[in-house]
Structures are given as structure tokens and as C-alpha cells.
């Protein structure tokens, strides 16, 4: 059966596209049932192994960065498209790339994995590299307490064979170094002291409603040491970072590596993506150092790891993933699509995009991919929108969102639960004005489809 798996999978994929049934991961589901070893066997072909990217915020953008940079630096990269971050999604993506003999023409895989499904993935494939970004309250109906997410990611750290790259500024992520097996390297990416206020940890955040009402804001409780070994920021001496983000500007960033500063222009939107770039730089640096050593050992040649200047040049060329600061021109006006799915992500987006001189729309859905529990909206500070207001609120939970804005005294001009009608009206009003659209995941997909019926929308996903 193994020799026939690629042909069967490609046939299922073609049939599902023609009939429009089954979804993008359906071929992967079929292949998992008929050939459980397909994923392990196929990825074992890769000479430089697998880079696994996971965490609450920034997986898609950072995966795109890592894949783009490695490709720019000369490696053939396989990666999974946006939205396919479950194991069967990876299998489906592989079916797009293997030939009928099951051969995958790539040097390395860079895979975004959902936090929960990453646990299932590492039971089948041990990644050579893992990049673990952060843990925040997200999809509480799925994960429950935040420490549950950290424990899920600890399985990834424990299964990685080459290098684990951790976020120094997130105490729960930094603590995962204790789970890394002997022989596996641990590296960190981090922030300069004066940038840390941009990126509060989950424990630093408190709802703004109590502040607005004059109530005392509860102080964050210290973290307890659990089985993961987490501890609050500042409780231990600062860890050395392989890459540090030291300064940010308007489409500009400065990174520190080995005590040297490197400044560059970037195409990425939002301060949070500049920190994701530091994460990407750290893991790409580890991969390229190992690739040079492996090439040197194989050919006895004087292969050299890429220079810091080459790494910085590669990060400067990365473009945003779809919906993550992507700009779509409608009637001559730039419309910025901004994915929001938890308190930290929404706060950072609001801080990164000045509402002055722009129209703002917020679309909140509560489908499975968004997370059913929308209580996290009460932990987002919306007071930056007070002066400009919000032009349109839409989505399944539009009235919940409008109520939340009311508590922060943010004026809302219009509420329309019909997403297609609301998006169309929003982008066609004030055609010369920049527009910001904050969307949950399924809302962003539908909004993008609506915009595709109005103007040309390019494919800005993660795929090769």
C-alpha cells in the first residue's frame, strides 16, 4: 500500500477540489488512515530535518519568515500553507509536493503546528529544530488554563534533537529549557530593556474596565512553580539571547547578534512582527550554522555559515503573511487586515496601528477556529480608539464587541451582523481614507473573500 499512497492522496485531493467537499485537510485524513507511516517516512528524506514553529501568537508570520529566509539563503524549503497547522494538514500539504514515487524535493521543512497538534506531530516526527514563541490565553474552550498550553509545548522541547529556540521574555517558554534533552542546544531570542513594555507577559496584563471605573486594579499574582518549572520574569538572572531586538521604527528594526548591532528596513507591519523577526533570525542562524558544518563534513570543503549581514538582508525581504498586516488596495485606499485572537495580539495590533486619520472596523466571530470563548475581549484596552471611534462592528459576536467598546467609551457608528454587507459598506465609504480591519480568524478569511469580489487580492499565504 505504501507505494500507492501518493497516487491515492493526489486522487482524493483532486476529487475533493472538484466536488468542493472535505476541506483542504481531507486528503490528509484519508492518507493517515490508509498509511499511518506516510508523514514520518516522507519527512525522514530531508537532509536538514524539520523546523517546528509553535506558540500562541505569531506562528503563521514567523513560519513564513523562517521559510522565506532559508529559501533566500539557498535551501529548498517545504512548508505548510496557512490554516493547515494540524497534523493532517501537514500530510495534505506533503501530497501537493511529493511525486508519485513519494519523493519530496526539499532540503528542510518549516512547519507551523497548533499547540495541541504539535504534541501528536512529535510522536511521529522528532524535529531537529523547534521555535517556541509564547503562551497567552487563547481559545480557552480548547486549552483551559495557560499553563496547559505551556505543558503542551514542553513535549515539543523534549522531542527536539538539534536546537530549541525559546523566548527569553516569556517566563513559561524560557522555563522549557529544563525539558530539553541532553545533547540538544538551547538558544534564546529576546528584547532590549526599553522595549519590554511593548510586550507584556500574560501575567502583566490587567483588564482596563476596572481602571476606567475607578476600581483598584488587581495586582498579578506570582506564578507558582509547576511541573514545567515556570517562574516570573525577573526572578532569575537574565538569559543570554542569540538575537535581541534592540530598536524599532517605522518599517525599521535593529537587532543585536554577538554584541554587534544591525539595522535594516523591513516590509513587515507592526512592532510585534519585528519581535517575530528576532525569533526567526535565531532559528535560521542555528539552521544555517549546522548546514555549513554538515556540508563541510560531507565534502571536506571550507563551507562557511552565513554572515549576520546576509541574515539581516534576508529578513528585510520578508513580506507579511495574509491577514497579518497585509495591505489590500480598494478604490485607491489601503485596507489593512489585522488578525486578532487573544488579548496580547489585539493589544499589540492596536498599539502598532495609529487610528488617527483612518477608519476602523472590528469583526468578531466565535466559530471553532476562532475559539468559542470571547471573554478575552474584556482584557483588551480599547481606549486608544476613543477619539477616532469605530466605524463598523460586524461578525457573529458583533453586539458583544459593541458592548465591550461601550465600556471603554469608544463610539461605534454602525453594527451589522451581516459580514459581507458590512465589509462592502465599510470599504466603499470614505474611499480616500486608510482603513484598519481587526478580524478573528474565520472573520478574516470571509472578509478577505469579500474583498476578493471587489478588487484583486493576491495570494499572500505561506506556501512555496
Residues 386 and 250 in one domain: no
CA separation (Å) from 424 to 206, 363, 375, 458? 35, 13, 28, 18
Pairwise pLDDT comparison (333 vs 180), residue with the higher score: 180
- Domain assignment of residue 210, yes or no: no
**Residue 229 region, left (φ>0) first, then alpha (ψ -120 to 50), else beta?**
left
Which domain CATH number covers 24?
A: 3.40.1190.10
Residue 357 near residue 380 (C-beta atoms within 8 A): no
CA separation (Å) from 335 to 343, 351, 427? 23, 17, 8
Domain limit, last residue, from 279, 299, 317 = 317
Instruction: Tell me the per-residue pLDDT of 111-142, one tens digit each, with 9 for 90 and over.
Output: 999 888 899 999 999 999 999 999 876 555 45
Q: How far apart are CA 23 and CA 376, in angstroms?
A: 29
- Mean pLDDT for all residues in the chain: 82
Residue 47 near residue 109 (C-beta atoms within 8 A): no
pLDDT at residue 14 is higher than 80? no
Q: Whose grid coordinates read 529544530?
A: 129
pLDDT at position 460 is 45
For residue 422, what pLDDT band results from cuts at 50, 70 and 90?
very high
Q: How far apart are CA 62 and CA 56, in angstroms?
A: 12
What is the average pLDDT across 204-232? 39
Structural domains of the chain, count: 2
Residues 37 and 139 in one domain: yes
Cell of 412: 461605534
Distance of CA 105 to the CA centre of its chain: 25
The sheet that has 358-363: what strands, in order across it?
A: 324-330, 333-339, 434-439, 358-363, 392-394, 415-416
CB-CB neighbours of 208 under 10 Å: 18
Which domain CATH number covers 420?
A: 3.90.190.20
For residue 27, what pLDDT band results from cuts at 50, 70 and 90?
low
Q: How far apart are CA 447 and CA 191, in angstroms?
A: 34
Q: What does 217-272 look like in DSSP terms, one character per residue?
A: PPPPPPPP--TT----TTSSPPPPPSEEEEEEETTEEEEEETTEEEEEE----SHH
- Domain assignment of residue 219, yes or no: no
DSSP structural state of residue 102? -
Q: Are strands 392-394 and 415-416 parallel, antiparallel or unpaired?
A: parallel
Q: How far apart are CA 432 and CA 332, in angstroms?
A: 7
Q: How far apart are CA 366 and CA 357, in angstroms?
A: 30
Q: Out of 207-221, 234-248, 364-378, 434-448, which region has the weakest mean confidence (pLDDT)?
A: 207-221
Residues 145 and 294 in one domain: yes
Instruction: Tell me the per-residue pLDDT of 257-294, one tens digit each, with 9 for 90 and over.
Output: 999 999 999 988 777 889 999 999 999 999 999 998 88
Residues 140 and 275 in one domain: yes
DSSP structural state of residue 58? S
Cell of 113: 503546528
Cell of 422: 458590512
Q: Whose grid coordinates read 488617527?
A: 356
- Domain assignment of residue 46, yes or no: yes
Residues with a catalytic annotation lie at 373
Give the 3-state secondary structure of residue 125: coil
Residues 86 and 144 in one domain: yes
Domain limit, last residue, from 283, 317, 351 = 317
Residues 342 and 431 in one domain: yes
Residues 8 and 54 in one domain: yes
* pTM, two decimal places: 0.74
Residues 328 and 311 in one domain: no
CA separation (Å) from 382 to 290, 323, 335, 431? 45, 20, 20, 25
- Domain assignment of residue 227, yes or no: no
- Domain assignment of residue 179, yes or no: yes
- Domain assignment of residue 231, yes or no: no
Whose CA is closest to 341, among 308, 364, 310, 322? 364
Residues 19 and 147 in one domain: yes
How long is the chain? Answer: 464
What range does the domain containing 393 cover?
324-453
DSSP structural state of residue 98? S
Residues 139 and 269 in one domain: yes
Domain limit, last residue, from 317, 337, 365 = 317
pLDDT at residue 8 is higher than 50? yes
For the chain, the straight-line distance linking the first and the last C-alpha, in angstroms and rounded, comes to 29
pLDDT at residue 18 is higher than 70? no
Q: Please tell me the number of Cα atoms within 13 Å of 241 on its side-chain side.
A: 26
Q: How far apart are CA 403 and CA 393, in angstroms?
A: 11
Whose CA is closest to 342, among 220, 194, 201, 215? 201
Residues 328 and 279 in one domain: no
- Domain assignment of residue 278, yes or no: yes
- Domain assignment of residue 410, yes or no: yes
Q: How far apart are CA 13 and CA 25, in angstroms?
A: 9
Q: How far apart are CA 363 and CA 393, in angstroms?
A: 6
Residues 47 and 180 in one domain: yes
Bridge partners of residue 412, in order along the sequence: 390
pLDDT at position 83 is 52
What is the average pLDDT across 167-190? 96
Q: Please tell me the number of Cα atoms within 13 Å of 67 on its side-chain side.
A: 27
Amino acid at each position: 500500500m505504501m507505494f500507492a499512497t501518493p497516487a491515492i492522496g493526489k486522487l482524493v485531493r483532486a476529487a475533493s477540489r472538484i466536488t468542493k467537499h472535505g476541506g483542504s485537510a481531507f486528503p490528509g485524513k484519508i492518507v493517515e488512515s490508509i498509511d499511518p507511516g506516510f508523514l514520518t517516512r516522507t519527512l525522514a528524506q530531508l537532509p536538514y530535518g524539520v523546523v517546528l514553529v509553535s506558540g500562541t501568537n505569531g506562528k503563521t508570520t514567523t513560519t513564513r519568515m523562517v521559510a522565506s529566509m532559508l529559501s533566500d539563503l539557498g535551501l529548498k524549503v517545504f512548508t505548510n500553507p496557512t490554516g493547515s497547522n494540524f497534523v493532517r494538514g501537514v500530510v495534505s500539504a506533503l501530497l501537493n509536493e511529493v511525486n508519485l514515487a513519494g519523493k519530496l524535493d526539499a532540503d528542510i521543512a518549516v512547519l507551523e503546528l497548533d499547540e495541541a497538534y504539535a504534541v501528536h506531530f512529535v510522536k511521529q516526527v522528532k524535529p531537529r529544530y523547534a521555535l517556541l514563541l509564547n503562551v497567552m490565553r487563547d481559545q480557552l474552550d480548547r486549552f483551559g488554563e495557560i499553563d496547559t498550553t505551556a505543558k503542551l509545548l514542553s513535549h515539543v522541547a523534549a522531542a527536539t534533537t538539534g536546537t530549541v529556540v525559546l523566548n527569553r521574555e516569556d517566563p513559561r517558554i524560557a522555563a522549557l529549557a529544563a525539558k530539553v534533552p541532553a545533547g540538544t542546544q538551547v538558544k534564546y531570542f529576546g528584547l532590549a530593556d526599553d522595549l519590554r513594555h511593548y510586550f507584556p507577559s500574560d501575567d502583566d496584563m490587567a483588564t482596563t474596565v476596572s481602571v476606567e471605573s475607578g476600581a483598584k486594579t488587581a495586582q498579578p499574582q506570582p506564578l507558582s512553580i509547576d511541573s514545567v518549572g515556570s517562574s516570573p520574569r525577573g526572578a532569575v538572572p537574565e538569559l543570554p539571547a542569540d538575537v535581541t531586538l534592540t530598536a524599532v521604527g517605522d518599517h525599521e528594526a535593529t537587532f543585536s547578534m554577538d554584541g554587534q548591532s544591525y539595522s535594516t528596513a523591513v516590509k513587515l507591519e507592526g512592532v510585534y512582527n519585528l519581535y517575530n523577526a528576532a525569533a526567526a533570525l535565531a532559528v535560521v542562524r542555528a539552521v544555517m550554522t549546522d548546514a555549513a558544518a554538515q556540508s563541510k563534513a560531507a565534502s571536506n570543503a571550507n563551507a562557511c555559515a552565513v554572515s549576520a549581514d546576509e541574515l539581516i538582508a534576508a529578513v528585510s525581504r520578508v513580506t507579511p503573511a495574509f491577514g497579518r498586516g497585509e495591505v489590500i488596495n480598494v478604490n485607491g485606499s489601503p485596507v489593512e487586515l489585522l488578525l486578532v485572537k487573544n488579548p496580547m495580539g489585539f493589544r499589540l495590533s492596536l498599539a502598532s496601528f495609529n487610528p488617527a486619520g483612518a477608519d476602523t472596523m472590528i469583526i468578531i466571530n466565535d466559530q471553532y477556529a476562532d475559539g468559542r470563548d470571547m471573554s478575552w475581549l474584556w482584557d483588551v484596552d480599547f481606549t486608544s480608539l476613543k477619539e477616532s471611534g469605530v466605524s463598523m462592528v460586524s461578525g457573529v459576536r458583533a453586539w458583544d464587541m459593541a458592548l465591550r467598546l461601550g465600556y471603554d467609551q469608544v463610539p461605534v457608528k454602525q453594527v451589522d451582523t451581516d459580514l459581507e454587507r458590512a465589509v462592502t459598506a465599510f470599504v466603499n465609504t470614505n474611499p480616500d481614507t486608510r482603513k484598519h480591519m481587526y478580524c478573528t480568524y474565520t472573520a478574516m478569511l470571509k472578509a478577505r473573500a469579500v474583498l476578493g469580489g471587489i478588487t484583486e487580492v493576491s495570494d499572500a499565504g505561506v506556501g512555496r
